[in-house]
Homo-oligomer: A and B are copies of this chain.
C-alpha cells in the first residue's frame, strides 16, 4: 500500500489512541486545525477533544503538563509544532522529563512521547529552520528518534510509547509528502540504526531529512562506479555504535551527513565515536557534510547553498577516495 509519511504517522497515532486509553495527543492546533502539518487531521472527530487536545500558545506550559500527565499515569504524546518553538520548552525537557526518574532515586518514570517537526528546505528562513536534534541527543535519560522512511514513520511510535522513559521524535518537515509502499515489516527496533543501502567503498551516515539526499548521492556515485553504504542513524540517542562501527570496519571510510550546523553537530559526535572506536580501521580522515554556519536564509539559492545537498555528499566521498 503506497502511503505518505504523513499518513503513516497518522496511522501510528490512530492505532496508539485506539489501543490504549492512557494515550492522548496534545499540542497547538492538533485538533480543530488538523495539525500544522496535517498529521493529526481527522483524529479530533474520531477521539474527541479530551484526547486530541488543542493547547494555547504555551510551549513551556503544555510540554511540562505532558511530563506531569505522564507522572500521573497517562501516556501523553505531546506535539510541539516545530523544534524552533521547542526552545521555549527546553527547561521542562531537561530539568523535568529527563531527570525526574534519577533525581527521585528511581521512584517515577516519565513515559511521554514528544513529537516535533524539524529542519529547513522550505524557505521558512532563520527562525523556522533549525535542526537541533543534537541538543536533544545530548540529554541523558531520554531517547531520540528520527524516522526517515514511511515505514519508520509508521513503526516508531508504538515502541516509543512502550518505552517507560521520555522519547523525542523528530519529523523532518520535508519528509511529510514522501510516499512509499508500506510493507508488512514496518515494526521498528528503536535501539538500532538501519543499513539502507549496503556498499563497500565508504560508509555514509545520515538521518532524517538527509537520508534521501544520502541515498541520492549514493545513486550518483554508483553511476560513476563507486559503491557506498548508506546507514540511517535513526536512533540519535543512544547512538547505535555497533552498527556504525561494523560498517566502518568494512568500508574503512566514513562521511557523516547532518543538517545541523557543523560545529557541535550530531555529526561531530558520530565522528568522535568513529575516531575513538575505529581509529585503526580508517583509511582516511572521517568527513562531515553539514549545514553552513549561518542562520538559514530565506532566498532559495542561498538556502540551498546553506544545507547539505547530494552534490556535496558526492564530492565528500570522492575526496575521501581521492578520485
Contacts and interface: CB of A to CB of B under 8 A. Distances in A.
Contacts of A260: 138
Looking at A87, A279, A288, the one whose CB has the most chain B CB atoms below 10 A away is A87
A164 interface: no
Given A135-B264, A139-B261, A238-B263, 5 more contacts: A87-B94, A95-B127, A103-B295, A264-B264, A271-B275
A135 B135 contact: yes
Contacts of A274: 275
A222 interface: no
Nearest to A295: B99
A140 to B, nearest CB: 4
Contacts of A95: 84, 87, 126-127
Contacts of A261: 138-140
A286 interface: yes
Contacts of A264: 134-135, 137-138, 264, 266, 268-269
Given A103-B125, A126-B99, A265 B91 contact: no
Nearest to A87: B91
10 contacts: A87-B90, A95-B126, A102-B294, A137-B263, A141-B295, A264-B269, A268-B269, A271-B271, A275-B285, A279-B286
A269 B263 contact: yes
A272 to B, nearest CB: 4
Interface string A284-320: 1111100001110100000000000000000000000
Looking at A84, A135, A140, the one whose CB has the most chain B CB atoms below 10 A away is A140
The 8 closest A-B pairs by CB, nearest first: A138-B264, A279-B285, A99-B295, A268-B272, A271-B272, A87-B91, A140-B293, A275-B275
A53 interface: no
